[in-house]
Amino acid sequence: MRLALRLLPFSTADGATNMAADEAMLESASAGVASLRFYTWTEPTLSLGYFQPAEARAETPGVDWVRRSTGGAAILHHHELTYALALPPGADWHTGESWVCRMHHLLRDELAAAGLAAHAVVCGEERKLGEVLCFFDQTAGDLLVDGAKVAGSAQRKWKGALLQHGSILLRRSLHAPHLAGIHDFAGRDLFTPEALAARLAARVAVAAGCDAEPGDWTPLERARTVKIRADKYADPAWNGKR
């Protein structure tokens, strides 16, 4: 019997809602439901890594912010595409190459098909060019174009299940003009966010050897998203706790 991967609808939401929805996905993954979704943000938002100090938000003054449940450094979500992959426990989903490397290699192949060369950082190539923003921190597995990071991912495990967040930088933001995206390097728009999401979802299904079918949130997940949002990601005390 082939594995099943639920493709949730492409959406745009505020930071607290996006993070709560991803945590609801992780809860479902712990019960055996594998899900993938792609989304954007209603306004420019800085997401801090789970362990970063709240003071790091000073890197982008005047921008809304939220704390992620995954680790890593801060990401400015503006002209970019975010994905969340939630996978159940067990060897069926967690064999071979890490999912960070898998996702970045799939993006590399998609960019190559569009005429843009990219490569993944390997051990020994790591560089730290800044202290706060993720896209200045080039770690093994990150995806680079012309020496600049265009995709990074972070993970959280809970009850054996995995949540992986990833950001794909599409173009420069006025809030971080020093960070170029794939469209900047290409000199043209290669994809709409929705088109890139669809292409990557198809590649994930092939790479995982699974059946990827469009699905929707369950009533329980919708209720959990509302509660998690109120209890954590929309609560200033929770976001500022470090």
Residues known to be catalytic: 134
How many residues does the structure list for the chain?
242
The C-alpha atoms of residue 102 and residue 27 are separated, in whole angstroms, by: 23
- Cα angle at 63 between 233 and 77, to 5 degrees? 70
Convert 115-144 to b/e letters by CB count within 10 Å (16 or more is b).
ebebebbeeeeeeeeeebbbbbbbbebbbb
Helices and strands, number each (H, E), in the chain: 6, 14
Residue 160 is given by DSSP the state T
Does residue 159 come out as left (phi exceeding 0), alpha (psi in the -120 to 50 range) or beta? left
Helix (H, G, I), strand (E, B) or coil at 137: strand
Residues in contact with 137: Cβ distance below 8 Å, sequence separation at least 6, in sequence order = 72, 73, 128, 129, 130, 149, 152
Alpha-carbon Rg for the chain in angstroms: 17
